Amino acid sequence: MAPAVTSLRKERDLKAREELILDHARRLLAEKGFQAWNMEQLAVAVEYSKGTLYQHFSSKEDLVLAVASRILNLRADLFEQAASFKGSTREQGRAIGLASCVFAHRHPDFFHIEMMLKSASFWEKASPERKEAHARAGARCWRTLYNIIVSAIALGDMPRLPWSAEHATMALISITIGSHVVGMEHNLRVFAGIDNPLLSVRLNQDLVCDGLGWKPLLHEHNYAATDQRIVSEIFPDAAAFLIPA
Partner DNA sequence: CATGAATGAGCCTTCATTCAT
Partner DNA sequence: TATGAATGAAGGCTCATTCAT
Footprint of a second copy on this chain (CB under 8 A)? Answer: 31-36, 111-112, 115-116, 118-122, 135, 138-139, 142, 146, 163-164, 166-167, 169-171, 173-179, 181-182, 184-188, 190-194, 200, 203-204, 206-212
Question: Alpha-carbon distance 72 to 128, whole Å?
Answer: 17
Question: Alpha-carbon distance 34 to 45, whole Å?
Answer: 16
Cβ distance 126 to 65 under 8 Å?
yes
Q: Which does 212 bind (CB under 5 to 8 A by kind): DNA, a second copy, none?
A: a second copy
- String of DSSP letters for 89-131: HHHHHHHHHHHHHHHHHH-TTHHHHHHHTTSHHHHHHS-HHHH
Q: Between 65 and 152, name the residue whose CB sits nearer to DNA.
A: 65
Question: Judged by CB under 7 A, does residue 49 bind DNA?
Answer: yes
| CA distances to 132, 165, 199, 222 from 137, in Å | 9, 20, 27, 33
Question: Alpha-carbon distance 244 to 22, whole Å?
Answer: 32
Question: Alpha-carbon distance 231 to 5, whole Å?
Answer: 40
Q: What mask, x for binding DNA by CB under 7 A, covers residues 73 to 112?
A: ----------------------------------------
In the list 50, 136, 167, 189, the residue contacting DNA (rule: CB under 7 A) is: 50
Q: Between 4 and 190, name the residue whose CB sits nearer to a second copy.
A: 190
**Range in contact with DNA (rule: CB under 7 A) among 52-60, 68-76, 82-90, 132-140:** 52-60
Q: Which does 185 bind (CB under 5 to 8 A by kind): DNA, a second copy, none?
A: a second copy
Question: Alpha-carbon distance 18 to 70, whole Å?
Answer: 11
Determine how many CB atoms are found less than 10 A away from the CB of residue 132.
11
In the complex, least distance from residue 184 CB atom to DNA, rounded to whole angstroms: 24
Q: Which does 207 bind (CB under 5 to 8 A by kind): DNA, a second copy, none?
A: a second copy
Q: What mask, x for binding DNA by CB under 7 A, covers residues 27 to 46?
A: --------xxxxxx------
Q: Which residues bind DNA (CB under 7 A)?
A: 6, 13-14, 17, 35-40, 48-52, 54-55, 59-61, 125
